Chains A and B, each alone.
Chain A
């Protein structure tokens, strides 16, 4: 048997005590409780348009995808991008380790098909050594059908790669596909620590929906890549 109470106002009886309903206290225009749980399984809880779900606030930085390499030839992330929802993406590379010595990390943009975005990827970079003198700017670093992300990667524990790439994608009308990132590396050629700033792009207006990453030769021995969207 159901029952219903229809009133316009429930007010506290004892001054400053608030009103308690089934253990939840309402007091001074606030809800005092320790837990708010989702009503529908898998839906999360939305507060003023901010979705809280699975321990994450789905506003601002939103985790979209994550993969772990284990002697894997490549890590592919298809169709994570959503131009209507996200204004850009942050890609975290954590302890990415090459199986083969002296290789380069490469990245490729992907269409919704999904298929690689082919053509000329252009780029430039600047570096400065961290423990000795020397710095320079490298220009006109173009490659065909892939972006050279980090050259001279060794396969020792101290040579794993951890860095963040900022990625902006064309929406089908505006922009081009670009990634910008800063990283530190113990260079294979001279064992020196260096700080690099890279920018890579391909002049395409095709809507880009994904990316893939691999080394020029050999597997990705281990490491993680996680992609976050920056919500509009």
Chain B
């Protein structure tokens, strides 16, 4: 479950400066707070996106290559097996879509 903004902020190192054209420029207290808020919001967005869509990425990595899947389908057709269908089902069950 995604962390709250405050939880994320608590885990971040506060920024102190940025570098502009090679020179260090110290941040004001307002800029530090604004940067921390932005970082926390970005991280929360990432966590929410991972919760909602992480299974898609995991499935993408887990699926065999298109060439291998075509090969599975050919031999399934020749031999009457279900290798390809089993592979797809396994990837889906290993990486379920969130309820």
Contacts and interface: CB of A to CB of B under 8 A. Distances in A.
Interface of A: 65-69, 71-79, 99-100, 102-104, 133-136, 189-190, 192, 216-219
Contacts of B39: 100, 216-218
A33 to B, nearest CB: 35
A218 B57 contact: no
A67 B22 CA distance: 5
Most buried by A among B21, B22, B35, B58: B21
A67 B19 contact: yes
B18 A73 contact: yes
Given A136-B60, A216-B39, A72 B17 contact: yes
**The 6 residue pairs across chains A and B that have the minimum distance between CB atoms:** A73-B15, A217-B39, A217-B43, A216-B42, A76-B20, A133-B65
B30 to A, nearest CB: 14
B12 A133 contact: no
A42 to B, nearest CB: 18
Contact of B18 (A72, A79, A104, A189): A72
A217 B40 contact: yes
B18 A76 contact: yes
A61 B76 CA distance: 57
Contacts of A218: 12-13, 39
Interface residues of B, number: 27
Interface of B: 8, 12-13, 15-22, 24, 27, 35, 39-40, 42-43, 46, 57-58, 60-61, 63-65, 68
A75 B61 contact: no
Given A79-B21, A99-B13, A100-B43, 18 more contacts: A65-B22, A72-B18, A73-B15, A73-B27, A73-B35, A78-B20, A100-B39, A102-B46, A103-B43, A104-B46, A133-B68, A190-B61, A216-B39, A217-B8, A217-B40, A217-B43, A218-B12, A218-B13
A69 B20 CA distance: 11
B11 to A, nearest CB: 8
Nearest to B61: A190
B18 to A, nearest CB: 5
B88 to A, nearest CB: 15
